[in-house]
Amino acid sequence: MTILPREFFAQPTLTVAQNLLGQHLVRAVEGQHLRGRIVETEAYLGPEDTACHASKGRTPRTEVMFGPPGRTYVYLIYGLHYMLNLVTEVESFPAAVLIRAIEPLAGLDLMRQHRQRQPSQTMPLRQIGNGPGKLCQALRIDKSLNGWDVTTGQTLWLEAVEPLPKMAIASGPRLGIDYAQAADRAAPWRFWQRDNPFISK
């Protein structure tokens, strides 16, 4: 078992976004390891990318993206949902990869418990982590984990798996960024594992 090191994240963001597909995201909570395979990501490419929060400048919220790679950027959206990003590139270049979906592998009961609204029925496996807000809820990720260093192997980290072959990776425009300029809206910077049933949408 190898924990993804800082060098993995200190690369071009489009490279990291594709290489993250298939890797295991692990969250330690209540003495358990909740584990999911990353199956969908989106790249946010820094100050020139008008879809990237950091294009608006350096603010308290975007500060962590200006820091070293290998840390989390976690923020609240719509007052309801947390989003998990991993900071990429060299320090002071503000870019990150949004984790959009995971395929649950271990700790399923606790993940379901985190996601459950009515405890009466069992949530289908597909719906546990097939969206950026859903996977944060399943893994109990909130603002307290913003800025977390994922290379320490504690609390939240990534474990290395063989990267997917290029053939297995599909790409398309990013979602929910109507506020961005046309060219940025159209850029195919969302990546997912082809034919995987656990992607969002």
Interface with DNA by CB under 7 A: which residues?
A: 42, 44, 51-54, 56-57, 59-62, 73, 75-81, 83, 85, 96, 98, 115, 117, 127, 131-134, 143, 174-179, 200
- C-beta of 1 vs 80, nearer to DNA: 80
- C-beta of 115 vs 153, nearer to DNA: 115
To DNA, the closest distance from the beta carbon of 66 in angstroms equals 12
To DNA, the closest distance from the beta carbon of 6 in angstroms equals 19
H or E element at residue 190: strand 190-193
How many angstroms separate the CA atoms of 139 and 34, rounded? 7
To DNA, the closest distance from the beta carbon of 70 in angstroms equals 16
To DNA, the closest distance from the beta carbon of 27 in angstroms equals 16
- C-beta of 92 vs 154, nearer to DNA: 92
How many angstroms separate the CA atoms of 120 and 123, rounded? 10
To DNA, the closest distance from the beta carbon of 25 in angstroms equals 15
* Nearest to 85, CA basis, from 34, 113, 51: 51
> Which residues contact residue 68 at a Cβ distance below 8 angstroms, ignoring those fewer than 6 apart?
6, 87, 91
Q: What angle do CA 180, 25, 148 make, to 5 degrees?
A: 70
Q: Report the DSSP beta bridge partners of residue 77.
A: 81
Burial tier of 121 (Cβ tally within 10 Å: 0-12, 13-18, 19+): exposed
Neighbours of 179 (CB within 10 A): 9
- C-beta of 31 vs 79, nearer to DNA: 79
- C-beta of 12 vs 57, nearer to DNA: 57
